[in-house]
Amino acid sequence: MTEPSQHPSETLVERARAHLRASGMRWTPQRRLLVEVLLSTHGHVTGSELVERCRAIDPDTTPSTVYRSLDALEGLGLVRHSHGHDGVEEYHVLPESVHGHLRCEACGGTWDISEAEAQALTQALAGARGFAVNLSHLTVVGRCAQCPPVVATAEPELADAEP
């Protein structure tokens, strides 16, 4: 995976263009902008965030174009979407390797979960149920090491009132 001369993302933009054109789709300024924004993105972004970011660069950006382009790019496998913490669609870019996500519900931080790290889960489920985990759709929510643990939720506990 060594790119000889240029910025890695430079190459990726190039590839995105090639992919689009190879599929009979067109390489437009709007799509180029979107691809660049996507490539400058670390973890996940929601559709509306992408609209914003594109607009920050080109104020003429239109939501419909962004969403349609996102669709197109997704069809080519350049981006993928999953469901986010609040039920918002989230896109993430170029999954070089299949991985899941970890999100801290306190600080909002996110990290990747590698296949190796998820192995404990995938194997457990495969063994017990014959269930094949789709790692790219896995988001694990909880508390990261930096955030204080939950402070005794003071919960009514309806279900356990039973003697």
Partner DNA sequence: TTAAATGCAAAGGGTTTGCACCGGA
Partner DNA sequence: TCCGGTGCAAACCCTTTGCATTTAA
The minimum distance between CB 63 and DNA, in angstroms, equals: 4
- Which phi and psi (to 5°) does residue 125 adopt? -75, -35
The listed partner (DNA, its own copies, none) that binds 39, CB under 5 to 8 Å by sort, is none
Which one of DNA, its own copies, none interacts with residue 145, CB within 5 to 8 A by kind?
its own copies
Q: Which long-range contacts (CB under 8 A, 24 or more apart) does 12-16 make?
A: 12/39, 12/94, 13/39, 16/73, 16/78
CB of 7 or CB of 68, closer to DNA: 68
Number of chain residues interacting with its own copies (CB under 8 A): 56
Classify residue 80 by its DSSP letter: E
Measured from the CB atom, the residue of 12 and 66 that comes closer to its own copies is: 12
Residue 67 CB contacts under 8 Å (≥ 6 apart), including other chains: 47
Question: What is the contact surface with DNA in residues (CB under 7 A)?
Answer: 20-21, 24-31, 46-48, 51, 60-65, 67-69, 71-72, 88-89
